[in-house]
Structure 1
């Protein structure tokens, strides 16, 4: 019987163990998509206790706690102490078995703090006190944890109007870990609420120094900010979309739609889709000009619980997988760019696993050797899919219909400085897949060194470093 969370955790064969320990484990981390708070890195933030670093903002844990019958005040409440919140989380953990949270929780305790006890009500106080004490030491401050996990690059998620002052400070400090911004211009195409859109455009005008009166002024202002992001080291854009937009439009139509919404008039569904299409095309052209990689995260239905949205706001654990029909629109959007040779490198992340094969086959339609290997990428298992089963399904689809060997690998997509073991979790899963194939004779055992050096090390680190030109 294998032991839980030991050195060979998730590794079911000798070949998998060899691939992981000799190849995957040693590779640095490139975390090319995350939601870390840049100010925490700039200030080398010290976390007061284990709850502060582990529970604040973690909607994964909140969802599990609610499901386990924990009252909301122990998740997001202001009238409960950090210890009381942690105590309720510890009560929940034993009931998360077979949920990835159970694996992540114990990997994080082990790899960050050296704690190998199982978290439960009986061990909660000891673990809380021990970890909180360690968090007061400099090696457990924000920067110390990044170095502990052998992080080489992190890319945060930033709005075009952000000052990027924290990224600039980190670079000026000469910190060993590069922290680069990522261009996330979703608000520039969020025209559903005219008043909110106008307020954002006015802020964009202010920070760019471009007076905005018409649609072309918006693009000019965004180009100013795009150039600024480039100067601070940006290499990627990111777009959180429900679905792909690929409506036919004329420039005259887009000019009129902008004037209408900027003037405070609500748009029709058709007008919204046309405007979003035009903006996505403009963003893609900018990225092509600078050689950036564009990322598309699609398929979430957000803020399903309107009562809790009014109480807590977005990103608090009330989102789910959507069932959008995207194949034709995705194809048309990429073709709109490719036929004018304006399609830059792109990563597609689907949230509904039914789309795995759809995305995996879409990649091959737009690969282009001029950009090197794997111009269009199938993104790693995202959000609800960034667990063992979701990762395996994503990698199996990619292996069958594309080239796993050219995959740019894992990311944390997290706000937590304790989430880096997600890379280890992914690497172990990858090595186990390949190791099982070797043991079953599906891959040649004589090629295990090649598999480790070229495929495992490539997917874990080298492919991303080359692809993003870090």
Structure 2
């Protein structure tokens, strides 16, 4: 019987243990997609207690607590203390066995705080007090936590109208970890609500200095902001989509649609919405190609399913799920349109529905052009799929239908400064996959040196080279 969460956690064979401890474990972390607050990093925030750093904004934990029968006041309630919320989380943890939260929770306790005890109602107070005491010391500020994890680069998620003042401050201060912005232009496409869209475009006009009176002006304003992001060190864009949009359009028709929603404030029909978004995706992708950025597409989330709770506590609060749209044809048409114009930049595709694994793994092969190894990427298991089974499924599909060796590896996609353990989790799973293949005679033990380099590349070097960090 193996010991839970020991040094060889997940590593089932001697080869897997060797690959992890000798090749993967000590490499720096490149977290090329996350939702950390650049303001918290710039201010070097000191968290008051374990409840704050662990439960603020963590909708993974919130979902589990609700499922465990915890009243909402102990989850998002403003009048409930941090410790009361933490107690309810500790009460929930034993019931998360076989959910990745059980692994993540204890991996974070061990790696960050040196705690090997299981979190449950009996240990809750002792663990809370111990971790809180540490968090109140300078060594556990946001910046020092990042250094403790051996983080080299992070890319945050930023709207085109963001000032990026915190990124600039960190750069000017010479903070040793690169904190780079990522261009996330989702709101430039959200034309479903004319009033909200007009307010957003007016803000874009203000920060860009471009008077926006037509669609061409909108693109000019976005280009100004795109240039600004580039000047601050941005190397990636990111898009959160329900599905890919690839309807035919003319620029004249798009200008008419823009005037209808922006100038007249009229609702668009579904055909107009899809055509507008199709055009925007293409135009934004061309901007990325011109700057030699990489572009990321996270698609397939069915968001804000619970209307009552959305009205009560807003978005990103644990009421999203996997969607089931048919995507292959529109995705192919979108990529092909750019490729025909020789304007398809490095691209990473992240699916949320595991049914799409093989589709994505074959789709990326359609647009490789030999210019860059792994130019079009099948992205790491995302959101509901960034757990052991999901990661293994993604890497297995990529392995048998593409080249795992050029995969750019893991990211946190997180708002928590403790989530860097997901890189360790991923590296252990990767090493175990490769080690098991060697153990079963599916890969040659004589090539162990090459396999060690493969693990190192996927854990660190591929991303460093791919993004130009």
Q: What does 1:19-418 align with in structure 2 at a 5 Å threshold?
A: 19-262=19-262, 263-370=264-371, 372-418=372-418
SS in 2 for 1:243: coil
SS in 2 for 1:348: strand
Q: Match of 1:466?
A: 465
- Deviation, 1:109, is 0.5
Aligned counterparts of 1:80 and 1:284: Cα–Cα separation in 2: 45
Aligned counterparts of 2:425 and 2:225: Cα–Cα separation in 1: 36
- Deviation, 1:319, is 0.1
Aligned counterparts of 2:146 and 2:26: Cα–Cα separation in 1: 15
Residue correspondences, number: 468
Query: Residue deviations 1:377-416, cap 9 Å, x none?
Result: 0000000000000000000000000000000000000000
- Deviation, 1:267, is 0.3
Aligned counterparts of 2:201 and 2:81: Cα–Cα separation in 1: 40
- Deviation, 1:449, is 1.5
Aligned counterparts of 1:143 and 1:116: Cα–Cα separation in 2: 24
Aligned counterparts of 1:113 and 1:448: Cα–Cα separation in 2: 34
- Deviation, 1:105, is 0.1
Aligned counterparts of 2:32 and 2:200: Cα–Cα separation in 1: 27
- Deviation, 1:258, is 0.3
Query: Residue deviations 1:347-367, cap 9 Å, x none?
Result: 000000000000000000001
- Deviation, 1:153, is 0.1
Query: Residue deviations 1:96-120, cap 9 Å, x none?
Result: 0000000000000010100110000
SS in 2 for 1:183: coil
Q: Match of 1:457?
A: 456
- Deviation, 1:369, is 1.6
- Deviation, 1:168, is 0.3
Aligned counterparts of 2:229 and 2:23: Cα–Cα separation in 1: 34
- Deviation, 1:131, is 0.2
- Deviation, 1:431, is 0.3
- Deviation, 1:137, is 1.2
- Deviation, 1:232, is 0.2
- Deviation, 1:52, is 0.7
Aligned counterparts of 1:419 and 1:295: Cα–Cα separation in 2: 21
- Deviation, 1:18, is 0.3
- Deviation, 1:79, is 1.5
Aligned counterparts of 1:359 and 1:75: Cα–Cα separation in 2: 36
Aligned counterparts of 1:187 and 1:347: Cα–Cα separation in 2: 20
SS in 2 for 1:369: coil
Query: Residue deviations 1:10-49, cap 9 Å, x none?
Result: 0000000000000010110000000001001001100000
SS in 1 for 2:132: helix
Query: Residue deviations 1:35-92, cap 9 Å, x none?
Result: 0010010011000000110000000000000000000000000111100000000000
- Deviation, 1:139, is 1.3
TM-score by length of 2: 1.00
SS in 1 for 2:237: strand
Query: Residue deviations 1:195-235, cap 9 Å, x none?
Result: 00000000000000000000000000000000000000000
- Deviation, 1:142, is 0.2
SS in 1 for 2:20: helix
Aligned counterparts of 1:56 and 1:240: Cα–Cα separation in 2: 22
Aligned counterparts of 2:201 and 2:79: Cα–Cα separation in 1: 37
